[in-house]
Structure 1
């Protein structure tokens, strides 16, 4: 098969390109070329989609001179997606658009599916998501609709949850294998049974390529089954225990310090991601449906998540190679300050 992949040099799109190559497909990657190399064996066409906006000119003309078995696009800019589908829709057998669970207007109800969860209104134009928290989701809705309107029953819309694993640039899940590898007292957010969902980037990439091969269509959430946060930490610790990190051979045993959300917020510990955060923590019932999507239809369609311990193990090995990628979470000193305050109060 001939795959056209928008991206190909970073995390998910790179994993998709590598998976397609490993299965013997021909792969062309389209990107600006400033985020790293595409996998060896893929052809790379350098395109700045913010500049090549005429679907009937330039690089688009060359791409449209070929037939493509599969297109996979991760863009979040509606005009980029509109240009691509206008240029290529008639030359593509199957189109996968990778969206996000952030398209949903209400994520307060656990067990939701694409069929029953309303989406945000589509963006009217390309919205700046730096100040409007809904802009990213609205942009993605507009991108979905552009693909659906031109490809009809030849498209697959995939809405991933939190994607994790080696190469993760966000540092969200990555925080936990790194932190647990140090041992000692570890600050963690209550409740221990809070639902949590993740998906290894390699498993998602494998499913995306298989779906393109099989011509799967429709709309699917893409994340692993929900599990209690305590189980996420237990499996992560199990995986981490199999990796030797230089300088941490004699790490002390892990002791989880479960702390209620109100206390954490009072101590300026922040949720989900970013500086001074406890990654993956989503306090508040308004996020219950983000932590617990019903993905039974996706699993039935072939998504096969690996054991989380394996992801943790590989993620820590990747970090130990010197990626220096972690961008989320408390620093060591910040965590020790919080733990000291908690000890002083008890």
Structure 2
């Protein structure tokens, strides 16, 4: 049985990846600080090693103890972490870094791994922790992967766009699911046609395993739903699976301002279309889950959870003020 060492592994993408590797007969070791509930605490094929990835001596000791075939790096948010990990795990069969579709500097449609320019990253940005530098830091992490590959490390990266699905602690899609499930009228930013491609979490997990098994050193692979939905179609599909009817009310920036809101106040809104070309990953044999099926699973788990996205989008009170103004126009 092959072994995979997962840095992270208990939340969302990491959790789905652990399940994916288990389903394909890997023995899994998860390495993290143990600050979040471990859903695999009682699983006989999942071993937990406590440790902080920033403690390189502990990470090295864990590597020597486990001697893994594959390393999955789910929680590298600074390029120095990627550099250290690729040095420590230089001799593994595959090191896969979870990067992001946010690495791209240009608004190409679609964005392609070997054509679209990556964001630059200054030393100050590399050490930052803000959302504003997330894409810059992930891009520099990719460059560390490429450098490691030049040294002979079988290092690769995956670049998922916005991830959705069960156990999504970001609650970005939960915001819309909760709105549609609770109210008959829901405010939609703009004309509803903004396109921010998403990717189902289980597909990210299968992409990670596919790249670990079939990918080439020094390569990055975009990950996204094969069929990208506009925000309006996303909300309509959610309503279908929630078995409810909802009136979607469009509002411009000017109209939203009556409630102290703007287009960017809403989760999953993006002014420019964001679409990743996933043909490179598909050439390895990867396929995405049909969006209808993925939404059905997402809705089912959402209804069993207590997530409502309340903290990531406008309050119902602000939304209601705008809806009231629009009724008088």
Aligning the two structures, in what range does the TM-score lie when normalised by the shorter sequence? Answer: 0.7 to 0.9
Partners in 1 of 2:254 and 2:58 — Cα distance?
55
Distance 1:338 1:299, change over 3 A: farther
Equivalent runs, 1:1-346 vs 2, <5 Å: 1-39=2-40, 40=43, 41-50=45-54, 52-53=55-56, 57-64=57-64, 66-74=66-74, 75-90=76-91, 92-107=92-107, 109-124=108-123, 126-130=126-130, 133=132, 135-152=133-150, 154-217=154-217, 218-224=219-225, 225-241=227-243, 253-265=245-257, 267-272=259-264, 277-283=265-271, 287-288=272-273, 291-324=274-307, 326=309, 327-344=311-328, 346=329
Partners in 1 of 2:223 and 2:250 — Cα distance?
29
Partners in 1 of 2:199 and 2:48 — Cα distance?
27
Aligned to 1:248: none
The answer to whether the 8 Å contact 2:238/2:299 transfers is no
1:140 Cα deviation from its structure 2 partner: 1.5
Q: Which is worse superposed, 112-121 or 187-196?
A: 187-196
Could you report, residue by residue, the CA deviation over 1:199-230 in whole angstroms, capped at 9, with x for unpaired residues?
A: 11012112211322334552122111333333
Distance 1:259 1:328, change over 3 A: same
1:180 Cα deviation from its structure 2 partner: 1.3
Q: Which is worse superposed, 92-101 or 333-342?
A: 333-342
1:63 Cα deviation from its structure 2 partner: 1.1
Partners in 1 of 2:198 and 2:98 — Cα distance?
16
Distance 1:325 1:84, change over 3 A: farther
Query: Where in structure 2 are there 5+ consecutive unaligned residues?
Result: none
Query: Secondary structure in 1 aligned to 2:266?
Result: strand
The answer to whether the 8 Å contact 2:174/2:307 transfers is no
Distance 1:80 1:196, change over 3 A: closer
1:266 Cα deviation from its structure 2 partner: 5.4
Distance 1:65 1:184, change over 3 A: closer
Partners in 2 of 1:192 and 1:79 — Cα distance?
39
Distance 1:201 1:238, change over 3 A: same
Partners in 2 of 1:278 and 1:62 — Cα distance?
42
TM-score (norm 1): 0.83
The answer to whether the 8 Å contact 2:203/2:288 transfers is yes
1:38 Cα deviation from its structure 2 partner: 4.7
The answer to whether the 8 Å contact 2:261/2:318 transfers is no
Distance 1:141 1:195, change over 3 A: closer
Count of residues in Structure 1 that have an aligned counterpart in Structure 2: 318
1:80 Cα deviation from its structure 2 partner: 2.2
